[in-house]
Amino acid sequence: DAKTTQPTSMDCAEGRAANLPCNHSTISGNEYVYWYRQIHSQGPQYIIHGLKNNETNEMASLIITEDRKSSTLILPHATLRDTAVYYCIGGNNNDMRFGAGTRLTVKP
Amino acid sequence: DAGITQSPRHKVTETGTPVTLRCHQTENHRYMYWYRQDPGHGLRLIHYSYGVKDTDKGEVSDGYSVSRSKTEDFLLTLESATSSQTSVYFCAISERHQETQYFGPGTRLLVL
């Protein structure tokens, strides 16, 4: 399973785009990249996932590099409620390894 | 939100006592998972189930057992609780292999 590397913390101004990077250089060809977030004391919440192509949904966009060694989660207009820990996970669903994630703080 | 409930939501128990945590889903999803979350370790998979009576171990299964007698319920049992099992426990479900997981609200367990 892919090991992922994320920055420990990031800040973002309210209303600006938040770009959260993730390195997953050991990801294999059939492993998806998943992004979840966890708001304090709550269960993790699914955001988006992708395999090769860029993806967009109502919450975020996911940009995956052509070599699949890294990806970026984009929150286009961050709000204070987006303050959370964001987890990037590479792997299959039966052995998903959640690391420490990136603590995103959205500031007014 | 996916229909996942966990009970109890909070529990305090003593070392050596048995504890059972329950995860209940109303989504009829095939896969169910138990994780624990501790500071410095993130979320770690304890056990998961891929169908009624079908379960397998995760990364940190020692000291835990699970059972799934019906699709909607997945039980996590600590046969003899230890202080190292003090944690927040999350249940998750997914419809198919390699698909999105949906998490429950968590159970805070304190073992004294």
Q: Is the minimum CB–CB distance between A42 and chain B shorter than 8 Å? A: yes
Say yes or no to pLDDT of B1 above 60. Answer: no
Please determine, for residue A93, whether its predicted confidence score (pLDDT) is greater than 60: no
pLDDT in tens, B47-85: 999 999 999 999 899 999 999 999 999 999 999 999 999
Residue at token pair 């420490």: A100
E strand intervals along B52-95? 54-57, 65-70, 73-78, 87-94
Contact B100 A97 (CB under 8 A): no
> With bands split at pLDDT 50, 70 and 90, how would you rate the model's confidence at A95?
low
Q: How crowded is residue B72: how many other Cβ atoms within 10 Å of its Cβ? A: 18
| Measured CA distances, A92 to A9, B27, B92, B94 (Å) | 26, 21, 14, 12
Using a 10 angstrom Cβ sphere, with 0-12 exposed, 13-18 middle and 19 or more buried, the burial of residue B4 is buried
Return the residue in A6, A87, A94 with the most chain B beta carbons within 10 A, the one to mutate for interface testing.
A94
Residue from the list B35, B48, B106 with its beta carbon closest to the beta carbon of A94: B48
Interchain contact A28–B (C-beta under 8 A): no
Which of A36-45, B21-30, B89-98 has maximum average pLDDT? Answer: B21-30
| Chain A nearest C-alpha distance from B54 (Å) | 13
> Any CB–CB contact under 8 A between B103 and chain A?
yes
**Which DSSP letter does residue A82 get?**
G
Instruction: Give the CA distances from residue A5 to residues A33, A65, A70, B13, B51, in Å, rounded to whole numbers and listed in that order.
Output: 12, 15, 9, 36, 32
Nearest to B30 by CA among B83, B68, B85: B68
A86 touches chain B (CB under 8 A): no
Helices and strands (H, E) in chain A, number of each type: 0, 9
Q: Which long-range contacts (CB under 8 A, 24 or more apart) does B62-66 make?
A: B64/B34, B66/B34
Please determine, for residue B41, whether its predicted confidence score (pLDDT) is greater than 60: yes
CA angle A61, A32, B34 (to 5 degrees): 105
